[in-house]
Amino acid sequence: MLKQLDIDSKTIKNIVIALYEAEVNVVAHAWKGTVSVDIDENKITIWVEDEGPGIPDIDQAMQAGFSTASKKVREMGFGAGMGLPNMKKNTDELLIESEVGKGTKVKMINYFS
């Protein structure tokens, strides 16, 4: 759809990377999750919400290399601690809310050039 809207390929790549990282976090850490997307003429907004253990310390989780991934997830090649940093790197705005024992809500915005 973004290609049909003539969004530049670099912006599309950034959106795909950020969404991929968010999806992997849901699969690796949560019990279930949802992705919602809104596209208008200026931006794409993506919400990823999960029901899971939550993030006790978001600042710590934002540090490259910090991971709480299980041994099983790491054995599958994930859990390097780059998910949230890559999401931040590839979005124009990243908002994270989390409650331990309930889940995490992530809002990512990418503006179109």
Active-site choice (14, 23, 25, 99): 25
The verdict on whether 93 is a catalytic residue reads no
The verdict on whether 25 is a catalytic residue reads yes
E strand intervals along 1-113: 32-39, 43-51, 93-99, 103-111
**CB of 65 within 8 A of CB of 84?**
no
Active-site choice (21, 49, 86, 90): 21
Question: In degrees, to the nearest 5, what angle opens at C-alpha 49 toward C-alphas 43 and 97?
Answer: 85
Active-site choice (14, 49, 51, 74): 74
The verdict on whether 74 is a catalytic residue reads yes
**CB of 70 within 8 A of CB of 46?**
no
Among all residues, which ones are annotated catalytic? 21, 25, 74
